[in-house]
């Protein structure tokens, strides 16, 4: 599970109000490089919940990866930024698309119901009495 | 990627070794799957560079096909964990990365803008909410085993997608699907792109013939603009 998926996933357990964002706990994760597509990030960014993304990177023990506040778009999409090591757009790309959580869990913020992640696949199944 | 090449690669995927009849587990054949995705990309620009979700992904035919056509992010969802593991292996064999979630489609909770109060949406910086998924592709259960399963998929697809939903449904249900999509599920448009012959393999013991050909429609649904 990548952090982009985490950013769009919510819990639907009975008793949850928004069920979002799920608190990430990761015991095992890895990174895999993918090519950066600036147009894709540009279209996606307005839909991203920045707070949830930052919290997810902190949960992975990467407090330096993203700043508290989303940098201004002029900075993120500045000419040539994608080619600069450590630029905002590279970090955002890395956080959203290159980090894979393999083992851990997602915890519903409203009910504390825990959804395990095994072999990279979050188990969002609900029991009958939770629907 | 050429159509033939896509079809060839999809033909090499491992499919349900022990299909579960109650979940209507039969794979989308490589011929249909490749044409479905190719049409979505070449006629409508709905795959390459997009966020694509595959509802009821099974062993991942449509998810893997979307990744082969260079979708930027692919999310496959299924209720059956064994299929998800096979989908993961299928993707890994082709050195592709797809995300998978084990969930019942009807209980799926992907962040959709309708669920977020309007006043929060206006202030985007604080709660920058939106629909992440551009396109949903699916070959849902036809609802022959559990009535209404196809409609659960369709209505969730139209909630989650911001651009389009591609889906296969039995031709015999065409009028019903159209009515449900437009009235019940809030689609802006519902169009049959083509009619296909779907060979249901002998996965089902109660089928007498080796293969039963049924007519299915390839649909494209467009959701009403979100907010
Ligand atoms: C017709 S098969 C299609 C499989 C795969 N998408 C393909 O194209 O080869 C339908 C799939 O939907 C899954 N399914 C059935 N009911 C479901 C539900 N309620 N929620 C999620 N997946 C479901 C089945 O496990 C099966 O994999």
> Which CATH number is B163's domain given?
3.40.50.150
Closest CA to B69 of B48, B90, B50: B48
How high is the ipTM of this complex? Answer: 0.96
For helices B3-11 and B30-44, give the axis angle rounded to 10 degrees. 140
- State the first-to-last Cα distance of chain B, in angstroms, to the nearest integer: 35
- Each residue's pLDDT, cut to its tens digit, for chain B (227 residues) gives 999 999 999 999 999 999 998 999 999 999 999 999 999 999 999 999 999 999 999 999 999 999 999 999 999 999 999 999 999 999 999 999 999 999 999 999 987 544 444 444 444 333 334 578 999 999 999 888 888 899 999 999 999 999 999 999 999 999 999 999 999 888 999 999 999 988 776 555 555 666 678 899 999 999 987 54
Pairing relation of β-strands B51-55 and B135-138?
Answer: parallel
Structural domain range at position B7 = 3-223
CATH of A3-122, one of 3.50.50.60, 3.20.20.190, 3.40.190.10, 2.20.25.10: 2.20.25.10
Dihedral pair phi/psi, residue A44, rounded to 5°? -80, -35
The pLDDT score that the predictor gives to residue A19 is 92
Contact B102 A121 (CB under 8 A): yes
Give B30→chain A minimum CA distance, Å. Answer: 25
Question: Distance, CA A98 to ligand 1 centroid (Å)?
Answer: 28
pLDDT digits (tens, 9 = 90+) for A104-127: 999 999 999 999 999 999 999 999
Closest CA to B138 of B76, B198, B83: B76
pTM summary value: 0.93
Nearest-angstrom CA–CA distance, B216 and B204: 18
- Residue B15 makes CB contacts below 8 A (sequence gap 6+) with B27, B58, B59, B61, B86
Give B197→chain A minimum CA distance, Å. Answer: 33
Would you call A121 helix, strand, or coil by DSSP?
Answer: strand
Nearest-angstrom CA–CA distance, A74 and A54: 20
Sites in chain A below the pLDDT cut of 70: none
* Chain A residues interacting with chain B (CB cutoff of 8 angstroms): 1-2, 4-5, 7-12, 18-20, 32, 34, 37, 39-40, 44, 46-50, 70, 97, 100, 119-126, 131
Closest CA to B19 of B203, B150, B145: B203
The pLDDT score that the predictor gives to residue B184 is 87
Closest CA to A9 of A122, A126, A127: A122
The pLDDT score that the predictor gives to residue B200 is 72
Q: Which residues line ligand 1 (CB under 6 A)?
A: B 23-28, 56-58, 61-62, 78-80, 83, 104-106, 139, 141, 149
């Amino acid at each position: 599970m990548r952090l982009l998926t985490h950013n769009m996933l919510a819990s639907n357990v009975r008793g949850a109000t928004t069920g979002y964002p799920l608190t990430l706990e990761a015991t095992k994760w890895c990174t895999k490089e993918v090519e950066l597509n600036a147009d894709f990030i540009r279209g996606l960014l307005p839909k991203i919940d920045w707070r949830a993304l930052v919290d997810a990177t902190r949960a992975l023990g990467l407090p330096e990866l993203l700043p508290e506040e989303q940098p201004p778009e002029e900075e993120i999409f500045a000419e040539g930024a994608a080619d600069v090591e450590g630029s905002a757009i590279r970090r955002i790309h890395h956080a959203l698309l290159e980090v894979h959580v393999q083992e851990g869990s997602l915890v519903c913020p409203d009910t504390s119901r825990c959804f395990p992640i095994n072999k990279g696949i979050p188990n969002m199944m609900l029991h009958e009495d939770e629907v | 990627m050429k159509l033939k090449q896509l079809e060839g690669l999809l033909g090499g995927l491992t499919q349900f070794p022990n299909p579960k009849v109650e979940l209507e587990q039969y794979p989308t054949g490589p011929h249909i799957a490749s044409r479905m995705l190719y049409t979505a990309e070449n006629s409508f620009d709905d795959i390459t560079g997009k966020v694509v979700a595959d509802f009821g992904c099974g062993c991942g035919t449509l998810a893997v096909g979307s990744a082969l056509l260079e979708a930027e992010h692919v999310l496959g969802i299924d209720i059956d964990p064994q299929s998800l593991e096979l989908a993961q292996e299928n993707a890994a064999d082709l050195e592709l990365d797809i995300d998978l979630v084990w969930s019942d489609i009807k209980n799926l909770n992907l962040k959709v803008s309708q669920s977020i109060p309007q006043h929060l949406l206006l202030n985007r910086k604080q709660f920058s909410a939106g629909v992440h998924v551009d396109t949903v592709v699916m070959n849902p259960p036809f609802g022959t085993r559990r009535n209404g399963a196809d409609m659960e998929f369709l209505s969730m697809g139209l909630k989650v997608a911001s651009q389009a939903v591609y889906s296969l449904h039995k031709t015999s249900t065409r009028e019903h699907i159209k009515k449900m999509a437009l009235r019940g599920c809030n689609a802006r448009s519902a169009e049959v792109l083509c009619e296909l012959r779907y060979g249901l393999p002998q996965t089902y013991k109660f089928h007498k013939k080796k293969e039963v050909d049924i007519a299915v429609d390839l649909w494209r649904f467009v959701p009403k603009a979100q907010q």
